[in-house]
Amino acid sequence: MNDPRDADPVEPAPPEHEAAELEGAELEGADDSPVGLEVEVDVGAVAHGGHCVARHEGRVLFVRHALPGERVVARVTEGAPGDSYWRADAVRVLTASPDRVEPPCPWARPGLCGGCDWQHAALPAQRALKAAVVTEQLSRLAGLDVAVEVEAVEGPGTDAHAGLGWRTRVQYAVGDDARAGLRQHRSRTVVDIDWCRIAHPRVRELGVPGLRWPHLGAAEVIAPAAGEDRLLLLTPHASSGRRTPRPPALPAPASVAVRTDEGVERVSGRTWVAEDVELPGGPRTFRVTGSGFWQVHPGAARTLSAAALEAAAPAPGETAVDLYAGVGLFAAALAQAVGEDGHVVAVEADARATADARRNLRDLAAVRIVTARVDRALAGAGLGLQRADVVVLDPPRTGAKKDVVARIAALAPRVVVYVACDPAALARDVATFARHGYVLDGVRAFDLFPQTQHVECVARLVPAGA
């Protein structure tokens, strides 16, 4: 859980089969650009990336704000005449799906905020769409026929039945007018909003969109659902020089810090928050500095740690490895399970995260923390292990990739538990594990990002024939 990018689905990553370089770009060139063209299309299956597939005159359209089975008027938003696919928004619905609902947020519409992909779908339909994406990716990239159900997750302070009020970390972009808002889909344009409907109430209490933020590029609110602490993390604008930005008067208490090239600089209060989690072996509190990665749904840490331990079933005295360990969530749960006679090696590249992990896990003698890139730790003597009983990994959105997978398999664990925020990366790595003798033995999926395309999976892999 170490990649801060994974904590923020406000700007969804493009599907793996699409060109990332289109991010934020504006089309230039010929007068016959299709951008702005409106066409009637029948909407087909959901695709990875928060849109559905349609076709117009033989060309694929990736259409946002649509649902499978609908007929819509789609307006092209990106593409060139020679491209094999275009992007589009459904701007009028001619035949609606029975799963369509009125989006609860006025900004979750074409041309406005790009953070929520599925507000126009009922929550059960959203989960079905995500399940279809996970199933399709495992089929297409790993050759597996796996039935997946996306499970709802509740959390303190959220409106779970509406899929609102769950996001405990929100990064607002600051526009040229010094107002904070959220970005358009695949754009640097900042949309002025009143308030974010998926933001947790403790985030909303700071009223960031209603204030002015001169000399800033971004303002991030980090507000654990439980407890009193809250952090406002400021990112200076590139033009602000060495000036330390000061926030406006806030309507609710919060610590304030500034993100710098060297790390996090305190302005007032403290530079970290405390996250309380009920682990399977008992409650613990985790210190997370600045924008260090932590799941943004209040129920995520408890849900994922329980699912990982259920899949791994670590026994007292066993040796476990936690890769991409972040501030130590899974390492703590594993240490509780293997006990004083067991061993846990936690590997994390970010030095600030491992500093937090050492503080968080200082009472667990079974844990050894290694500050290193996972691939390098596995390739050298960083682990200090020839084998392991259990490996848990929670890589960034790009996945573990083939070299890391090969070295995990070389440890000959009896079980590998893979926590994934991107189903395509998971499917690719599952296929690689199969080439090293490990097969998928089950996968659970959790709706930790309601109203968006994102889904979290916990996959169990075991040696073939086990």
Residues annotated as catalytic (active site), given as ranges: 421
**Token pair for 232:** 């406002």
For strands 231-236 and 255-260, give the pairing. parallel
Count Cα atoms within 13 angstroms, Cβ side, for 34: 21
User: Measured between alpha carbons, how far is 203 from 369 in angstroms, rounded to an integer?
Assistant: 32
User: Measured between alpha carbons, how far is 399 from 410 in angstroms, rounded to an integer?
Assistant: 18
In sequence order, the 6+-apart residues with CB closer than 8 A to the CB of 13 are 20, 49, 397, 422
User: Measured between alpha carbons, how far is 331 from 277 in angstroms, rounded to an integer?
Assistant: 13
Quick one: three-class SS letters along 419-443?
Answer: EECCHHHHHHHHHHHHHCCEEEEEE
User: Measured between alpha carbons, how far is 447 from 445 in angstroms, rounded to an integer?
Assistant: 7
Contact 392, 323 (CB under 8 A): yes
Q: Cα separations (Å) of 96 from 101, 263, 359?
A: 10, 49, 53
Contact 62, 44 (CB under 8 A): no
**Token pair for 191:** 């949309």
**Secondary structure class of 279 (helix, strand, coil):** strand
**Secondary structure class of 197 (helix, strand, coil):** coil
- Indicate the burial class of 287 (C-beta count within 10 angstroms; 0-12, 13-18, 19 or more): middle
Closest by CA position to 348, among listed 358, 339, 338, 340: 358
Q: Cα separations (Å) of 55 from 73, 81, 224, 263?
A: 12, 15, 44, 47
